[in-house]
Homo-oligomer: A and B are copies of this chain.
Amino acid sequence: MVRQTPKSEETQARIFAAALQVFRERGFEAATMREIAASAHMAVGAAYYYFDSKDALVMAYYERAQNELSPLIDAQLAASRTLEQRLRNIIEQKLDYFEPDRKLVSALTAHIDPAHPLSPFSASTAPVRNSDIAFFKRAIDDSSMKLPKSIQPHLPRLLWLYQMGIFLFWVFDRSRNQERTQLLLAKTLSIVLLGLKLAQLPPLRPLFRPAGELLDTFFGEA
C-alpha cells in the first residue's frame, strides 16, 4: 500500500472505487483486474502498484467497513442498556451496514481456513476481528452480569463467535429479506441470554465447570 502524495492518494481512491463498483456488478470471482483497471482508466500494473493483489482490495474494503462501522456501533451501545438489547443492536447494525454488499461479503467469508488471509480467523484480519470483539467486551462490562470466573474471560470471544455464526447464516440466507436470519437471531438470542442467566445462579455453577474447561481448550492458543 502506498500513501504519499495527494496525487497517489487520489489514484488509489479511484482504483478502490472502481474495484468496488466492478465487485458489485460482477461479483468478486467474475471481476478481473483488467476490468477494474480499465474502469479506473489505468493500466493493470497501476492497480497492482497500489494493491498487492485482488484480495488486497477486499482487505481494504473490510478495513474501511470496520472504520465506518465503529462509530455506528458506539452509538448503538450508548443507546441501549440491557445486554440483550446491546447484543441485538450490535448484530443488527452490522447486518444493516453490509446489506447492500451481501454478495461481495460472501467472498470475504467464503474462506474458513485460518491460514487464508481473507478468513475471519486469519492473522491478517486480526485487527478487524479484535476491534469487533472489543464491542462485545464493552457490551458485557457495562452490564451487571456476574459469571463464573471460568467463563467470564472467554465471553467476548464467545459472543463474537456467536455473532459470526449469525452473520454467516445471513450471508448465505436466500429467504426473502433474509427472514430466516431474523427468526434465528430472535430465537438464539433468547437462548443465549437464558444460558447466561442460568450460569449466574450459584447452585447451577458446578454444571458450568465443564463449559469453562471446554472454552479453555477451544480458545487455547488461537
Q: Residues on A close to B: CB < 8 A?
A: 106, 109-116, 168-169, 172, 175, 180, 183-184, 187-188, 190-191, 194, 210-211, 213-214, 217-218, 220-221
The minimal Cβ–Cβ distance linking A177 to chain B, given in whole angstroms, is 14
Complex Cα distance, B115 from A112, in Å, reads: 15
Protomer copies: 2
Collect the chain B residues with CB atoms within 8 Å of residue A110's CB: 111-113, 116
Residues of B within 8 A of A213 (CB): 187
Q: Give the dominant DSSP class at A's interface.
A: helix
Assess A183 versus B217: contact at CB under 8 Å? Given A210-B190, A211-B191: yes
A111-B111, A187-B214 given as contacts; is B116 within 8 A of A220 (CB)?
Answer: no
Q: Whose C-beta in chain B lies nearest to the C-beta of A171?
A: B113
Q: In the complex, which residues of chain B have a beta carbon less than 8 angstroms from the beta carbon of A175?
A: 220-221
Among B113, B169, B221, which residue has its beta carbon within 8 angstroms of that of A172? B113
Q: Which residues of B contact A180 (CB under 8 A)?
A: 217, 220-221
Quote the shortest CB–CB distance from A167 to chain B (angstroms): 12
